[in-house]
Amino acid sequence: MPIPFPQAFTERLHLTAGADTPVLLDALQGTPPVSVRWNPYKTQSPAQGTPVAWCRYGRYLPLRPSFTTDPLFHAGAYYVQEASSMFVEHLLRSAAEPDGARILDLCAAPGGKATLYATLAGGEGIVVANEVIRNRALTLADNIRKWGIGNTVVTNNDPAHFAGLSEWFDIVAVDAPCSGEGMFRKHPEAREEWSEANVQLCAGRQRRILSDAWEALRPGGLLIYSTCTFNREENEENVRWIAGELGGEDAGVAVPAEWGIQESEADGIRCFRFWPHQITGEGFFAAAIRKGGQRGRPVRPKPRKTLFADASRSETAELSRWVGQPGLMRFARIGDNLYGYYAVPFADIRSIGEHLNTLHSGVCMGQLFGGRLKPDHSLAMFHDLARSAAAETPLSYDDALHYLRREEFSPQTAPDEGMNLMTFEGYALGWAKRIGNRINNLYPKSQMILYK
């Protein structure tokens, strides 16, 4: 028996969907499409599936496979992401220059859009992926590590804490917590949590987050506002508020008619609506908004405390062995751990680390013992890990699953004595250490597969 839609929701839906309401409600009772986004830093061959029109790396799959039992999923070769959300790629490519940009994703967990922003920002850019709820921020950090680009900082702050980074970012994304009407197909239980009061509560909270986002955005920069809900209060009305109260302007994004995305307008700003009966994806709303004014010289906030110490010469020599292009990187020590960062955004990353509650940044390389690196899982996931640095043990499918479940196992290919990179079909999964006949499975507990 499907969970019924709240009556007040269907009544209100007429205000936005009009005569399409019955066919939309039908679509919301159907089977959600399945889509993934490939990681171009780790794979060249996203061959399977049908392309998602608005995202270079997005693919629809004909059926929902078991992602949990696919080692490539755990290797960060792809991210399972609902297709409409991938539209933020089109907004960024059309209205900004994401390559090399400073990007802030204020509401980032579990990391669908943040991993996409990291892909677009590249090694000279930086993505600050922030999540206010601690447990969700930890999951976000796991997903960012797995994605393995090395250009992302994960923070666990209230949006108000970004005041110290005033006008600092080129692009700020607010994928706001919302009433979730667009997810009523994928997560039917969300229908039971819906209420008119919650719509109003969400709309108010979204404005507070948007004020903080606006403060962090530089003049001339781009704000991406998105929700996964249908009502106008959380969507066009908030965009109207951004235009009226904050002075936001239309960023001039155009969308081909054949994509099936519906356009609306709020005080001169174009808004994009994804209706599940018109496109293949869940309900989604997005707008790209320009902050007016001239771009000034970006001012780096004054350091408050120094967490980062430069790695010494001998530390740098050992760490350089573990990455493919050490010349592009800087190494630093934070406490006992050593980290690798792309050299270009390094000073920016240091400022962030000194201003915010940072859970993860760059690539955690590991710890040194007697001058030799004990590599961290983050380094195994890094796309530019030097494969020559440690022995490699290719695993069969069954052994890969034993490894990912942290079970005891004897790989068909015997690992060398010492640290080994466990791989499946050439993709790195993590570390294991062989000591005599024993194999210590070093796969992180927080990410292990929990069921058979």
Chain center to CA of 351: 21
205 binds ligand SAM (CB under 6 A): yes
Residue tagged active-site, from 55, 228, 271, 364: 228
- Site track 101-130 with ligand SAM (rule: CB under 6 A), x = hit: -----xxxxxxxx-----------------
Nearer of residues 106 and 349 to ligand SAM, judged by Cβ: 106
234 binds ligand SAM (CB under 6 A): no
Out of 132, 242, 311, 368, the residue judged to bind ligand SAM by CB under 6 A: 132
Q: For residues 331-360, which are near ligand SAM according to CB under 6 A?
A: none
User: DSSP for 368-391?
Assistant: EETTEEEE-HHHHH-TTB-TTSSE
CA distances from 285 to 18, 208, 210 (A): 17, 18, 15
Nearer of residues 205 and 321 to ligand SAM, judged by Cβ: 205
The token pair that represents 207 in the structure block: 């404005």
444 binds ligand SAM (CB under 6 A): no
209 binds ligand SAM (CB under 6 A): yes
Nearest approach, Cβ of residue 88 and ligand SAM (Å): 8
Give catalytic status of residue 202 as yes or no: no
Nearest approach, Cβ of residue 104 and ligand SAM (Å): 12
Cβ–Cβ under 8 Å, residues 187 and 1 = no
CA torsion sign for 98, 99, 100, 103 is positive
Nearest approach, Cβ of residue 324 and ligand SAM (Å): 29
Look at strands 217-227 and 391-394 and give their pairing. unpaired
Tell me how many residues contact ligand SAM (CB under 6 A): 18
Measuring CA to CA, which residue among 179, 174, 295, 194 is closest to residue 239?
A: 174
Could you count the other beta carbons within 10 Å of the beta carbon of residue 405? 16
133 binds ligand SAM (CB under 6 A): yes
Nearest approach, Cβ of residue 235 and ligand SAM (Å): 13
The CA distance from 170 to 188, in Å, is: 37
Nearer of residues 85 and 151 to ligand SAM, judged by Cβ: 85
Nearer of residues 92 and 338 to ligand SAM, judged by Cβ: 92
Nearest approach, Cβ of residue 363 and ligand SAM (Å): 21
> Which residue stretch of 56-64, 132-140, 300-308, 401-409 sits at the interface with ligand SAM (rule: CB under 6 A)?
132-140
> Which residue stretch of 43-51, 100-108, 289-297, 343-351 sits at the interface with ligand SAM (rule: CB under 6 A)?
100-108
The CA distance from 225 to 88, in Å, is: 9
CA torsion sign for 22, 25, 26, 32 is positive
Query: How would you label 414-429 residue by residue, b for 16+ Cβ within 10 Å and e otherwise?
Result: ebeeebbbbbbeebbb
The token pair that represents 245 in the structure block: 């109260």
The CA distance from 434 to 260, in Å, is: 55
Instruction: Please state the φ and ψ torsions of residue 265, each to the nearest 5 degrees.
Output: -145, 140
Classified as helix, coil or strand, 94 is helix
Site of tokens 């008619």: 257
- Site track 144-183 with ligand SAM (rule: CB under 6 A), x = hit: ---------------x---------------x-x------
Out of 70, 89, 131, 348, the residue judged to bind ligand SAM by CB under 6 A: 131
Nearest approach, Cβ of residue 280 and ligand SAM (Å): 18
Out of 21, 100, 122, 136, the residue judged to bind ligand SAM by CB under 6 A: 136
Nearer of residues 241 and 424 to ligand SAM, judged by Cβ: 241
The CA distance from 91 to 398, in Å, is: 41
Cβ neighbors of 383 (< 8 A, separation 6 or more) are 39, 41, 42, 148, 149, 150
Point out the residues that are catalytic: 228
Residues lying near ligand SAM in the complex (CB under 6 A): 85, 106-113, 131-133, 136, 159, 175, 177, 205, 209
